Structure 1
Amino acid sequence: MGRVTEIAGQIRWYWSSLMGDNHYQRYVTHRGRTHPGEPVMSEREYWRMRYRTAEVEPRCC
């Protein structure tokens, strides 16, 4: 059962990454590491900014 649980966890991680479920958490981690002490956007502000940017200028990545 251990191997099945491991594979299920990997699939869950992949699916979450694909759907963007962990993007905000990655943003918070990045801001804390590269800009300590500066304010961090709320999750709502983050998604608003992300979608607004995607509509205005297409990105390659």
Structure 2
Amino acid sequence: MSARTAPRRALAWLRWYVTELTGENAYQRYRERAERTDPGGPVLDRRAFERWRTDQKYADPTKHHGCC
């Protein structure tokens, strides 16, 4: 590994880690899965996906999400 590629790889890994941790990659994974399972089928846009995701998160009151 050269001296130039080491910082670049470290930054790429850090970016991947942060986007996974914050959930930013969820929409990209959803699109890939939706296009793979049903090519040409309907795919939610980003806003609709985030709304659906939030609704799913808080739909079941027995699951405790968050601090309060």
Point out which structure has higher relative CO (alpha carbons under 8 A, 6+ apart): 1
Which consecutive segments of 4 or more residues in structure 1 shift more than 4 A? none
Normalising to structure 2: TM-score of the pair? 0.79
- State the shift of 1:27 in Å: 0.5
Structure 2, unaligned runs of 5 or more: 64-68
- State the shift of 1:22 in Å: 1.2
Identity of aligned residues (%): 33
**Higher helix proportion:** 1
Amino acid at match of 2:16: W
Normalising to structure 1: TM-score of the pair? 0.87
Structure 1, unaligned runs of 5 or more: none
How many corresponding residue pairs?
Answer: 58
